[in-house]
Amino acid sequence: MTAAAPAGTGTIDTDVHCAPASLADLTPYFEPYWRTYVLEGGVSLSATQGLAYPPQAPTTATPEAREAGLTPARTVGDLRAHVLDPQGLRAALLTCTASFACNRNPYYEAALTRAVNDWMITEWLDADDRLRAGMVVPTLDTEAAVAEIERIGDDPRVVQVLLPTRTDAPWGNKRHRPLLRAAAEHGLVVGLHAWGRVGNAPTSSGLTHTYLEDYLANSQTIVQAQVASLVTEGVFAELPDLRVTLLESGFSWLPTLLWRFDKDWKGVWREVPWLDSKPSDVVRGHIRLTTNPAHLPRQATQVRQALDLLDAKAMLLYSSDHPHDHGTGHDRLVAALTPDERDAIFAGNAAEWYRLG
């Protein structure tokens, strides 16, 4: 987590978190009805983002970020002073997942995501030209999500549609297709980011007692089901220009998933006739993964093997995941990279993937 490129190298960081300090920050961007709804209903933004980031958990913030009060960054000034300037970043993709843990009111979710987007554009993108953003959309109302993409998706600083990985139906499901199509038509990457709606159990069989089990579900099960869904349902056959990034969801699990996926497809391809090439080829053509968390082995030779199995140079996009702190894995990743891999992962891949020019 701590390893970033030295200043001045033109690094592109694809996952930098920011969030409003409270709903009060979003008040200017709400219609009057929703201001009243928030006020009278006692509605607030979850302090843990729906249990995703317990404030005192070591994973929630690095000591440096905690010291600076960036848990995550609340203002562009703070981000500039503590991240953008000292690290010499060429560009940073802002991730605001504050709306992920929304309640179940679909109309409120539409209002909240719209407010987050307007707050992001006005207070962040307008303030620093190094910033790019993932826009958020309502997850319970596909028409409203499409409308929101139509509304702001052509802003060149908006490069991604952020979706939570924890969902009522996986993103490949037919019901979500207009949303994905709108993203593809606007040239936006779809970013599937860890976590999701409050109260949505992480496992097939329900809630977990420990945060550790909840946290690991992001990388070890949930995101993998999303990949299987997108490929199996033929999303990329229908939308050949669609690009998907998996954020804060790990990456070292990908090779073994693809071996299983290819083998099963060879056995039951009749079920999904629209899937006319190996799932691994589809994934490698349409999906990229961010580098944090980097769950890697302890031995350097095994790290190298894991990166080769993945084809890390082609598949990874550097992310600090600021301010989150996933431990020492990212240091092991960086130590294993060749100079060419480092250039690709820290800058070239993201510039190309997000069309940053």
Site for other proteins, residues 192 to 231, rule: CB under 8 A? 200-206, 208-213, 215-217, 219-226, 228-229
Which residue among 265, 318, 346, 354 contacts other proteins (CB under 8 A)? 265
Q: Considering only the stretches 61-69, 108-116, 257-265, 315-323, report the one whose residues sit in contact with other proteins under the rule CB under 8 A.
A: 257-265
What residues between 151 and 180 interact with other proteins by CB under 8 A?
165-170, 172-174
How many CB atoms within 10 Å of residue 260?
13
Q: Per rule CB under 8 A, is residue 27 in the interface with other proteins?
A: no
Q: Per rule CB under 8 A, is residue 252 in the interface with other proteins?
A: yes
Q: Per rule CB under 8 A, is residue 43 in the interface with other proteins?
A: no
Asked if 353 and 47 touch (Cβ cutoff 8 Å), the reply is no
3-state class of 317 per DSSP?
strand
Q: Per rule CB under 8 A, is residue 338 in the interface with other proteins?
A: no
Between 261 and 354, CB nearer to other proteins: 261
Which residue among 6, 32, 42, 270 contacts other proteins (CB under 8 A)? 270
Between 119 and 261, CB nearer to other proteins: 261
Please give the Cα distance from 17 to 98 (Å, whole number): 10
Which residues, in sequence order, are CB contacts of 333 under 8 Å at separation 6+? 3, 291, 294, 296, 303, 307
Please give the Cα distance from 119 to 113 (Å, whole number): 10
Q: Per rule CB under 8 A, is residue 297 in the interface with other proteins?
A: yes
Q: Per rule CB under 8 A, is residue 57 in the interface with other proteins?
A: yes
Asked if 234 and 219 touch (Cβ cutoff 8 Å), the reply is no
Q: Per rule CB under 8 A, is residue 319 in the interface with other proteins?
A: no
User: Residues of 201-216 as b/e, b for ≥16 C-beta within 10 angstroms?
Assistant: ebeeeeebeeeeebbb
Which residue among 11, 113, 160, 232 contacts other proteins (CB under 8 A)? 232
Which residues, in sequence order, are CB contacts of 308 under 8 Å at separation 6+? none
Closest distance to other proteins from the beta carbon of 212 (Å):
5
Q: Considering only the stretches 21-29, 148-156, 248-256, 312-320, report the one whose residues sit in contact with other proteins under the rule CB under 8 A.
A: 248-256
How many CB atoms within 10 Å of residue 297?
14
Which residues, in sequence order, are CB contacts of 144 under 8 Å at separation 6+? 106, 110, 137, 138
Closest distance to other proteins from the beta carbon of 151 (Å):
26
Q: Per rule CB under 8 A, is residue 233 in the interface with other proteins?
A: yes
Closest distance to other proteins from the beta carbon of 353 (Å):
23
Please give the Cα distance from 356 to 8 (Å, whole number): 17
Between 209 and 339, CB nearer to other proteins: 209
Between 6 and 267, CB nearer to other proteins: 267
Closest distance to other proteins from the beta carbon of 294 (Å):
8
Q: Cα-atom radius of gyration of the chain, to the nearest Å?
A: 19
